[in-house]
Amino acid sequence: MMKFFHKPVHQKKIKFFIGFFNCEIILTFTILKTPQMKQLNCIIIDDEMNAREALESLINRYLHESLKVRHLCESVQQGVSAINKFHPDLVFLDIEMPKENGYELFKYFDPVSFDVIFVTAHEKHVSDALKFHAFDYLLKPVSHFELIETIKRYQNTKASN
């Protein structure tokens, strides 16, 4: 059985009036974290600067306890260097990029020691992405809800292995 502990993340006071009564509520937002959960290292590879920074921002805002962005890369070649340097657990990988597409990253690694979540603006790539044994794919623009759910599933998969 897995034990959970609560860590307060944020408290917010809300003041409002009901008739002549002044009321105040304090809301505390918490997250559940398992003791054996470690922070995962990740790398983002995408040729579009705005897409890289937007994904990094979502991770830093919503998943900072779970994921640490180690490097942002604008090409497959930069990604290869960053992977060799940082040994990430997870790579967020765009597919359509100039020079080399995201699928070509795999030819530099045998065996592949990291998991991949493809991030693409084109649904047509989804079936190909899954052929490369990607953990999942996210469609651009990435929704923080989908990102959070994907990382939860990823952590659950890793915890059960």
The Cα 43–Cα 73 span in angstroms is 8
Can you give the pLDDT of all 161 residues of the chain as single tens digits?
Answer: 344 444 445 555 555 556 666 656 555 544 444 445 689 999 999 999 999 999 999 999 999 999 999 999 999 999 999 999 999 999 999 999 999 999 999 999 999 999 999 998 877 766 666 677 789 989 999 999 999 999 999 999 988 87
What pLDDT is attached to residue 30? Answer: 43
What pLDDT is attached to residue 4? Answer: 40
Q: How many CA atoms lie within 13 A of 26 on its CB side?
A: 4
Give the residue from 67, 68, 69, 66 showing the smallest Cα distance to 33. 66
What pLDDT is attached to residue 21? Answer: 62
Helix (H) or strand (E) holding 93: strand 90-94
pTM for the full model? 0.76
Domains, the chain: 40-160 (3.40.50.2300)
**Rounded to whole angstroms, what are the CA distances from 36 to 2, 3, 66, 156?**
9, 10, 12, 11
What pLDDT is attached to residue 156? Answer: 92
Contact status, residue 76 vs residue 99, Cβ threshold 8 Å:
yes
What pLDDT is attached to residue 120? Answer: 87
Percent of the chain with pLDDT over 90: 63
What pLDDT is attached to residue 134? Answer: 87
What pLDDT is attached to residue 8? Answer: 46
